[in-house]
Copies of this chain bind each other. A is one copy, B any other.
């Protein structure tokens, strides 16, 4: 079941009247955000909303913050009233319909599409294997630092990983430094020290990444933000990926390199920290079994 929201109305029917000249569809001209809903509450709601507004500003797509809050509130309430224990909330905002060509419409009318999908319990905290993609992240592109609708590179990198028998792609930037996974931020543990690519690199400022960096006083593990050369992967004792839905996934393998990440004490400790944070913010634990219904 998928629940869809557009400009006030909720429906389970994905087929809707839509202007097919919309630049989201024609040119990937828009952004999205994906958040975890537990117990009818959005984890890190204000960070998600701030990040989405920053992405819209980066593309000069004019949207009032209240419209975003309204979409989030409506779908969170829908999850609560339907007793969906865990769900993925996706909000998509495009520059709206426009004439032929790349040029922006004079008075853009951004389109909003929000969806709520129940989430399997197996998504959170489950270990992953990564394949290094031949597709690099383009650090000169604004799309490398936002969740852009123009996501074809991530789609193709992910598929390449699946074909190689892995779960997800690891992307370097065009200079060969480590950027991120196709759907999450990467952290390495090297000589007991946690390091992650800085936001000056071709990465999305992830919600869980931000929570871990800001929560040092609560979880007790210092995290360095820096340029991460490939050599750090070769030296790493453990690796993990974070995103809003998987939360903190230990990386058990990158290509042929095997890591005992799932049993690493720092990783277990950070997973406990996240469980506690979610339970505190959402009023219920994120369970790791069953489905979200």
A260 and B141 CA atoms in complex are apart in Å by 32
Q: Residues of B contacting A236 with CB < 8 Å?
A: none
The verdict on A25 contacting chain B, using a C-beta distance below 8 Å, is yes
Q: Are B18 and A182 in contact (CB under 8 A)?
A: no
**Chain B's nearest CB lies how many Å from the CB of A168?**
9
**Chain B's nearest CB lies how many Å from the CB of A103?**
7
**Chain B's nearest CB lies how many Å from the CB of A86?**
13
Q: Residues of B contacting A158 with CB < 8 Å?
A: 102-103
Q: Are B29 and A183 in contact (CB under 8 A)?
A: no
Q: Are A27 and B149 in contact (CB under 8 A)?
A: yes
With A152-B29, A155-B29 as given contacts, are A16 and B18 in contact (CB-CB < 8 Å)?
A: yes
8 Å CB contacts to B: which residues of A100-151? 100-104, 113, 115, 117, 134-136, 138, 140-143, 148-151
Count copies of this chain in the complex.
Answer: 2
A63 and B138 CA atoms in complex are apart in Å by 30
- Cross-chain pairs A/B with CB under 8 angstroms, 8 sampled: A20-B115, A23-B155, A25-B94, A88-B100, A135-B140, A138-B153, A143-B156, A149-B150
Q: Residues of B contacting A148 with CB < 8 Å?
A: 28, 150, 152
A27 and B152 CA atoms in complex are apart in Å by 6
The verdict on A24 contacting chain B, using a C-beta distance below 8 Å, is yes
Q: Count A interface residues, CB 8 Å.
A: 59
Q: Residues of B contacting A6 with CB < 8 Å?
A: 20
The verdict on A51 contacting chain B, using a C-beta distance below 8 Å, is no
**Chain B's nearest CB lies how many Å from the CB of A42?**
16
Q: Are A102 and B149 in contact (CB under 8 A)?
A: no
A117 and B183 CA atoms in complex are apart in Å by 37
Q: Which of A16, A32, A97, A99 has the most CB of B within 10 A?
A: A16
In the A-B complex, the 4 residue pairs with the smallest Cβ-Cβ separation, listed nearest first, are A28-B28, A150-B150, A150-B152, A138-B138
8 Å CB contacts to B: which residues of A73-96? 88, 90, 92, 94
Residue interface bits A14-41, CB-to-B below 8 A is 1, else 0: 1111111111111111001000000000
Q: Residues of B contacting A101 with CB < 8 Å?
A: 183
Q: Residues of B contacting A90 with CB < 8 Å?
A: 100
**Chain B's nearest CB lies how many Å from the CB of A182?**
6
The verdict on A174 contacting chain B, using a C-beta distance below 8 Å, is yes
Q: Residues of B contacting A60 with CB < 8 Å?
A: 159
8 Å CB contacts to B: which residues of A241-290? none
Q: Are A140 and B28 in contact (CB under 8 A)?
A: no
Q: Residues of B contacting A223 with CB < 8 Å?
A: none
With A17-B17, A135-B141 as given contacts, are A151 and B100 in contact (CB-CB < 8 Å)?
A: no
Q: List 9 additional A-B contacts (Cβ < 8 Å) besides A103-B158, A136-B140.
A: A4-B20, A6-B20, A14-B19, A15-B18, A20-B115, A29-B151, A134-B140, A135-B142, A150-B151
